[in-house]
Each structure stands twice: as C-alpha cells, then as structure tokens.
Amino acid sequence: MNDMTPTREQREARLEGLGCKRKRVEDIRFTQGKGNYVDDLKLPGMLHGDFVRSPHAHARVKSINSEEALKVPGVLAVITAETLKTVNLAWMPTLAGDVQMVLADGKVLFQNQEVAFVVATDRYAADDGINKVVVEYEPLPALIDPFKAMDADAPVLREDLAGKTSGAHGPRKHHNHIFEWTVGDKDLTDAAFRKAEVTIKEMISYHRTHPSPLETCQCVCSFDKIKGELSIWGTFQAPHVIRTVVALIAKIPEHKIHVISPDVGGGFGNKVGAYPGYICAAVASIVTGKPVKWVEDRIENLTATSFARDYHMTTEIASTKEGKVTGLRVHVLADHGAFDACADPSKWPAGFFNIVTGSYDFPVAHLSVDGIYTNKAPGGVAYRCSFRVTEAAYCIERGMDILAQKLGMDPAELRLKNFIKPEQFPYHSALGWEYDSGDYHTAMKKMMEMVDYAGLRKEQAAQRAAFKRGETREIMGLGVSFFTEIVGAGPSKNCDILGIAMFDSCEIRLHPTGAGIARVGTKSTGQGHETTWAQIIATEIGIPADDIMVEEGNTDTAPYGLGTYGSRSTPVAGAAIAMAARKIKAKAQMIAAYKLEVHEGDLEWDIDGFRVKGLPEKTMSMKDICWAAYNSVPPGMEPGLEAVSYYDPPNMTYPFGAYICVMNIDVDTGVYKIRRFYALDDCGTRINPMIIEGQVHGGLTEAFAIAMGQEIRYDDEGNVVTGSFMDFFMPTAVETPHWETDFTVTPSPHHPIGAKGVGESPNVGGVPAFSNAVNDAFSFLGATHIQMPHDYWRNWRAAKNLGVFA
C-alpha cells in the first residue's frame, strides 16, 4: 500500500453510508428557493378552480343558482353535484369503505363543505364568481357533541344510509353509528377486573386537531382529449394509490393516468386521501379541455381536508396492590365527522389502536371502538403517527400515570415494574400484535440517569412544600412517557388499501461509470429520502451515496408503491431498497468472479468491491464492475446492472422511546415554562443520525403544539372557531422549547438492515409527556385527569377548579 492508497476508514467514509451524518442533498434546492411545488406549475391556458362552501354545519340545499356567477368576466363554468351526476362522480368512495359527497347533494353536513366549483381564467375571477353563486339553505339542527350522537332523538345526518343496518365494518346500532370494532377477550378481561385489588377508570379525550402542513393540498389536472390521457400534479403522499383510485372512479385506463408528486411541503397524513378538489379539477379539465389548478387556502385546509384524533377513550386498568397490572379495558367513542374518511388500512376501522397495551405486559385486555357521525369535517388521518397509535399511546400513558397516582407509586417505577422484559421478545400482546424487539428497561434507566430523575423528584417535593408555605405560586410537573410504536404498514397478511397489499418497492439502475439512479415507491414530503435512501445503497453496494440519484413521486417511472405516511418508508421501502441492492450485488459478484478468473465462492465483500479470499491485493471495485456490466459480462449473462424489489414485510417494526418533560406552571396565570424536554428514541439501526434528530425535533414540536393548545374546536352550531393560524396554535421558534435527544439501538430482527421507522415516534411519545407533566403538576392539588389541550387559560381554569384561589 503506497501513501496514496486510501485506508479502509477513508474508503468507508467516502461512501457516506449507514450511520453517516450526511447533509441533506435536497436542502441544496430547498434553501435556495429552487424547490418545485405544485403551485409553481404554470401550464399554457391553465384555468383556476375554487369552491363555494357551506356556511352551515347541517342544512338542506334547496337550490343553487349560478346565473349571475357565469356573467362574471373570466368565469367559464360552475360545477355542482348535478353536473357531477352526469359523469357518475357526485359521490366518491372513501378509504374507510364509506362514500362521501364530492359536492353537496341535497344536503350539507359540515361547515365549509364543498357546494359548487367555480372555474375561471384566474383565481381572482373564480373568487368573484363564488360570491355570485346563490345557494338557498334550510338550516337543520347540528350534531356536534359526539356523546349525543347515538341518542334516540339525535338528528339523522346521513339520509343516504337510511335503512342500512350494516356498513363496511359490520352492523350499525343507530342512524349515526358507523361501526363497532372489538378486539381481545372480554370474558377474561371482565374476570380480571372482578378479581382486581385496585382499579382506575377515566374518560381520556384526545381532542380534534389538524396536520396543517405549510403547503396546503393542491393539484393541477390536465386532460388531453386527443390521447385520452389525464395528467395530475398534486401534493400526494401516495401517488400510485391516487392513480388507481382515479382509474377506478373516473373509468380512465390506468396507463393513461400520469400522477406526479413534485416537491411537497409537508404531509403529516393530510395528503394521503382523495379530496373533492382533485375530482372537481379533473372534471373541470375534461369539460373545458384546459388544465385546471386547485389550491386550498389555509382556512379551507384547516376546516375541510382531514382532521386528526377526536377519540374519547374510557380507560380502565386493573392491578395488584403492588402495582402489577392485570387487565386493561378501553372503550373508544370515535368522532368521524360527516363521512368516514379515515385513512387506515382497509381492515382496520380504528387503525392500529389495539397497540393500546403499550409497553406493558398486560395478561388480558379488551378494546371496543364505536365510530359515529357528527356534523364535522371528515378525515381521521394519521397526523405524524402510525394509524391511531398516538391516541393509543396517550390513552395508556395517561392511564399508567393515573394508576401510579392511585397506588401512591412513582410513575417511572410503575412502568419499570410492568415493562415487557427483553427475553419476552418476540412478544405477543393480549390484543394480537407480535412485537419484534425491544429493551425497555435499558432505555428507561438511561433516561432517568441522564436527567437525574431522583434529583428532579426531590426538587419537586421541595417546590411543593414551598407552595404550601405560600412562598411560590409555581407548581412543578414531571411528565414521564414510555411509548411503543407500531410502524411499517404493512404485511400483506393484514394490511391493504382498497385491496392493494401494502408492500413497497425500489428499482436501482447502475450506469457504466459507476453512478446510478434509484426509483422508490415512497414520496418524501420533507423527510430527506433523497439523502437516506442513497445511504442504504452506498453501504449495500459500495457506490458513494453522492453517486446515487433518488427519484420518487412519478407514477410513470417509479415502481408501484404505497407511499409515505405512518413511518412506513424505512421499514418497508427501506427494506425494498436493501433487497434491490442485494440483487445487484449478487450479479456484480458473478461479473467480478468472471473478470478475476476465480469461482464466485472465492470472493468476499470488502466495503466498495470484491476481493479474492486470502489474496487481498486481487480486487475489483464496484465502479469497475459497473463498467464491466456494460461490456464484458460472463457468456450467457444479460448485460446491464439493475434490479427491482417489491418488499412485503413479514411483520411491523416496533420502535420505542423514553421521554420526560419538566414543566413549571404559574397557577395565577396558567402560564407554563417547559424547563427541559429529553427524548430517547430507539429506531433500531440508524441510517442518518442527523436526519433522525431533525425528525425528532419536528415531531416533538408538533406534539408540543397539540398537547399545549392546538385544536380544531366547534361551537354548538358547528362553526369552526379555530379556523386560522390566529386561533389554531402553530408554535414558532419563540414558543418552541429546547429539545435534548438521545438514543439506544435495538435492531429489528426481520428488517434487512435492522431499521425501524422514526418519523412519528416523537409525536406519539411527546404528547403524553407534556400532558403527564401538566397532570403531575396539578396532581398534588388533587387533580386526577385534566383534559388536553393545556393552554394557559385551561391551566388557569384547572387551578381555579382545584380551589387555589379560595
């Protein structure tokens, strides 16, 4: 080896593979304003569409008059449900097996529901047109309180379902009932509660909120009448699924539909489903023969496309006096709004909520979920969480704190006592999941040590004593949360969307000079896939990450994939990427053996190429193999070096984490101070620690927002009272606390590189940590459970209700 020969470390570093804090390659264009978003697209002759929306939450639509609107200069068409009926598109199927009005058909069922679509030469003209459309409504009583939805005299919302005693998920008990879903052994669970020494029961609500990505939902549809082809550029998290849905409902052959997701400015679940705007823009383009753009504004986004959560969870835990849990019973009232448009895999009406046993070894459990209709916007999307997992984590993590309080035990100690032990993995939960791997005790103990948990509890005791002596008006809370996520939907044995199994895919093509392109079925909405996918390939086949271009989002070029949401990209597509790379490596080994004139078995892999066992100087680099693949492959072998993999995961992955929030609250004002927030995450093998840290920072900021104020709230008439960023809490750098992050590594045994997802973990674990901190602070004044969100006013009100101003 001469001085110029790179060392093994240098060769490895040059790849920027797994574990490297590689800088995000996409940020080069994002930070210079060179991203290419849907609203940047301007096609010749492009028209603009915008909606007439309902001011009422529940009303009969008696007439729609478009005459004056059509006289507005620039307005070309006004599309209503009657127009859509001519092409059989007045209603569309939802992902949850329900149907949804595209435009109001006889009735409106929530405020800001789409009533008519005005198409004009520009957005301003469309807006002027909207103001001239005259809609005559007959207001009906609005049903807003989910707890009244199944009263005998509750208003009938869905007249289209009259007489239907069963829906997509079984029998319906009432005209506003959608489904009942039950899991677990009811008899054994009831018996555990009868025998229990200690029980708790609490109604824990997770309020309605919204993913509110900075870029709203939007699309441009362009129908080419000559070719009979429809091109759709849109903010889609799952472009292939959109293509299939359009083919099924618009009856256009799938190969004649081109769906392109360009750069997307945040998704968080909001951009998974299909919305009336997409259908109307497509129909408008077919009708006018021109491209049509539809871009939501902020109020429309917050009030009409996809809420999240709205779960009301009656939670019971049975335990021994010593704090060993013996049973869990949960009933959920799930408020789905006007249509069940939940974005869940088809067979999971409440998503993966049956992960509600959390990180604890519950011998028995029973869960029942009732889905109901109300006069609110439809949705129920997985906002920065796997399907309904954040609700489940909140439910069990509040439940464990309430139990600890009843037992007079420390909440961390109660958790340590009940954790699934490392030797129990793979662990079969009472509600049917097989957890792949975990080491909860190590994570929890590391968290407790890093923040000096014992010291914090001492400080809290001193603070409480000072409060009682009247020396301070601040109370201190420690919010412990330990979560287990379930991500990577999913194995075809239990997950599909509209009948399509939830695999994912990757196609890698290497060029003669040793560079290449990887096309993947996922779609980054800010997670940095262009950076991390290339890192997986770099480690697998020894081509530097910088020499691999990653492309996603074009259904004509990417292999069919189910998209990005619920932290599924790394567990599913990440595995497909590794498997495609391994196919390439297998072919590369045959080429290297031929060129080095040895048997394939005589070769071993060495960072960026093959070498002959026992003869380390006899090597062939992957770069050289690429060249050989295009000019001198073994006789009988096809030239070229490319591979495709469709990966159907054998199981989900189960990331976990230990979080703690240290908070002080001033009881006179309700103002809180987040003193410290420490988040330890275990997502198995870490591809890019810097991106993981960014994901955790973002998810914690969303968790902070949700727990401490972010809410979609309705008044009694069904008016949305938090429909803009003036009222919907959107934290800026000013309010956002400082985040401390940490990790342990427990690889997934079934994932090719041992990686689990991470994107949603901080939202799942963060919300209970904040809420437990508030509740822990108030517990010493006698509170058991204070509902979220914990904004200043509600904290003040909680203090008042606890009598601190007496």
Can you tell me which of 80, 189, 285, 527 binds ligand CDP, judged by CB under 6 A? Answer: 527
* Residue 567 sits in the site that holds ligand CDP (CB under 6 A): yes
Q: Which stretch, 51-59, 105-113, 166-174, 527-535, contacts ligand CDP (CB under 6 A)?
A: 527-535
* Residue 209 sits in the site that holds ligand CDP (CB under 6 A): no
**What is the smallest separation between the CB atom of 563 and ligand CDP, expressed in angstroms?**
9
What does the alpha-carbon distance between residue 718 and residue 375 come to, in Å, rounded to a whole number?
Answer: 7
* Residue 213 sits in the site that holds ligand CDP (CB under 6 A): no
CA atoms within 13 A on the CB side of 298: 9
The gap from C-alpha 692 to its chain's centroid, in whole angstroms, comes to 16
**What is the smallest separation between the CB atom of 238 and ligand CDP, expressed in angstroms?**
11
* Residue 691 sits in the site that holds ligand CDP (CB under 6 A): yes
Question: In 3-state terms, what secondary structure has residue 204?
Answer: strand
Q: Which stretch, 433-441, 564-572, 620-628, 671-679, contacts ligand CDP (CB under 6 A)?
A: 564-572
Can you tell me which of 54, 405, 532, 771 binds ligand CDP, judged by CB under 6 A? Answer: 532
Helices and strands (H and E) in the chain: how many: 19, 34
Can you tell me which of 49, 399, 542, 684 binds ligand CDP, judged by CB under 6 A? Answer: 684
Q: Helix, strand, coil shares of the chain as percentages rounded to 5?
A: 30, 25, 45
Nearer to ligand CDP, 19 or 432 (CB): 19
Nearer to ligand CDP, 495 or 687 (CB): 687
Can you tell me which of 52, 692, 720, 788 binds ligand CDP, judged by CB under 6 A? Answer: 692
Among 195, 484, 493, 191, CA closest to 366: 191
Helices 761-779 and 389-407, packing angle to 10 deg: 30
Span 446-465, contacts to ligand CDP by CB under 6 A? none
Question: In 3-state terms, what secondary structure has residue 641?
Answer: strand
* Residue 539 sits in the site that holds ligand CDP (CB under 6 A): no
Beta strands in 511-628 (DSSP E): 516-520, 548-552, 603-605, 609-612, 615-621
Q: Which stretch, 63-71, 330-338, 469-477, 684-692, contacts ligand CDP (CB under 6 A)?
A: 684-692
In this structure, are residues 367 and 332 in contact, taking their beta carbons and an 8 Å threshold?
Answer: yes
Q: 369: Cβ–Cβ under 8 A, 6 or more apart, which residues?
A: 179, 180, 181, 182, 331, 332, 334, 349, 350, 353
**Phi, then psi, of 354 in degrees rounded to 5:** -75, 15
Can you tell me which of 83, 305, 505, 688 binds ligand CDP, judged by CB under 6 A? Answer: 688
**Residue tagged active-site, from 385, 395, 506, 683:** 385
* Residue 494 sits in the site that holds ligand CDP (CB under 6 A): no
In this structure, are residues 737 and 677 in contact, taking their beta carbons and an 8 Å threshold?
Answer: yes
Among 705, 653, 707, 146, CA closest to 394: 707
What does the alpha-carbon distance between residue 376 and residue 207 come to, in Å, rounded to a whole number?
Answer: 13
In this structure, are residues 665 and 775 in contact, taking their beta carbons and an 8 Å threshold?
Answer: no
Nearer to ligand CDP, 596 or 683 (CB): 683
Is 82 annotated as catalytic? Answer: no
Nearer to ligand CDP, 146 or 757 (CB): 757
Q: How many CB atoms lie within 10 A of CB 136?
A: 11
The gap from C-alpha 608 to its chain's centroid, in whole angstroms, comes to 36
Can you tell me which of 570, 701, 741, 779 binds ligand CDP, judged by CB under 6 A? Answer: 570
**What is the smallest separation between the CB atom of 384 and ligand CDP, expressed in angstroms?**
8
Residue 368 pairs with which residues in a beta bridge? 182, 331
What does the alpha-carbon distance between residue 288 and residue 47 come to, in Å, rounded to a whole number?
Answer: 9
* Residue 775 sits in the site that holds ligand CDP (CB under 6 A): no
**Residue tagged active-site, from 384, 415, 519, 611:** 384
Residue 316 pairs with which residues in a beta bridge? 201, 329
Nearer to ligand CDP, 386 or 463 (CB): 386
What does the alpha-carbon distance between residue 563 and residue 138 come to, in Å, rounded to a whole number?
Answer: 42
**Phi, then psi, of 178 in degrees rounded to 5:** -100, -50
**Residue tagged active-site, from 215, 485, 711, 760:** 760
**What is the smallest separation between the CB atom of 654 and ligand CDP, expressed in angstroms?**
12
**What is the smallest separation between the CB atom of 569 and ligand CDP, expressed in angstroms?**
3
DSSP 604: E
Amino acid at 350: A
Amino acid at 372: I
DSSP 486: -
Nearer to ligand CDP, 337 or 563 (CB): 563
**Residue tagged active-site, from 237, 463, 527, 710:** 237
Span 694-753, contacts to ligand CDP by CB under 6 A? 695
Q: What is the dihedral of CA 27, 29, 32, 36, to 10 degrees?
A: -120
* Residue 757 sits in the site that holds ligand CDP (CB under 6 A): yes
**What is the smallest separation between the CB atom of 691 and ligand CDP, expressed in angstroms?**
5
* Residue 529 sits in the site that holds ligand CDP (CB under 6 A): yes
Nearer to ligand CDP, 569 or 710 (CB): 569
Among 767, 771, 768, 762, CA closest to 700: 762
Question: In 3-state terms, what secondary structure has residue 528?
Answer: coil
Among 208, 210, 207, CA closest to 305: 210
* Residue 333 sits in the site that holds ligand CDP (CB under 6 A): no
Can you tell me which of 210, 686, 750, 790 binds ligand CDP, judged by CB under 6 A? Answer: 686
- Size of interface with ligand CDP, in residues (CB under 6 A): 23
Beta strands in 304-391 (DSSP E): 308-319, 325-335, 365-372
Structure tokens at 318: 């049975």
Nearer to ligand CDP, 448 or 758 (CB): 758
Question: In 3-state terms, what secondary structure has residue 450?
Answer: helix
Nearer to ligand CDP, 286 or 690 (CB): 690
Nearer to ligand CDP, 658 or 691 (CB): 691
Nearer to ligand CDP, 670 or 698 (CB): 698
What does the alpha-carbon distance between residue 518 and residue 122 come to, in Å, rounded to a whole number?
Answer: 38
In this structure, are residues 80 and 287 in contact, taking their beta carbons and an 8 Å threshold?
Answer: no
**What is the smallest separation between the CB atom of 533 and ligand CDP, expressed in angstroms?**
7
Nearer to ligand CDP, 685 or 772 (CB): 685
Can you tell me which of 687, 696, 777, 798 binds ligand CDP, judged by CB under 6 A? Answer: 687
* Residue 771 sits in the site that holds ligand CDP (CB under 6 A): no
Is 384 annotated as catalytic? Answer: yes
Among 479, 494, 485, 482, CA closest to 353: 485
Map residues 639-678 to x or -, x wherever contact with ligand CDP holds by CB under 6 A.
----------------------------------------
Nearer to ligand CDP, 267 or 327 (CB): 267
* Residue 568 sits in the site that holds ligand CDP (CB under 6 A): yes
**What is the smallest separation between the CB atom of 677 and ligand CDP, expressed in angstroms?**
20
Structure tokens at 10: 């240098």
Can you tell me which of 167, 265, 516, 528 binds ligand CDP, judged by CB under 6 A? Answer: 528
Can you tell me which of 679, 703, 755, 767 binds ligand CDP, judged by CB under 6 A? Answer: 755
Structure tokens at 439: 């080491």
Can you tell me which of 564, 722, 741, 772 binds ligand CDP, judged by CB under 6 A? Answer: 564
Binding footprint of ligand CDP on the chain (CB under 6 A): 527-529, 532, 564, 567-570, 683-688, 691-692, 695, 755-759
Active-site residue numbers? Answer: 237, 384-385, 760
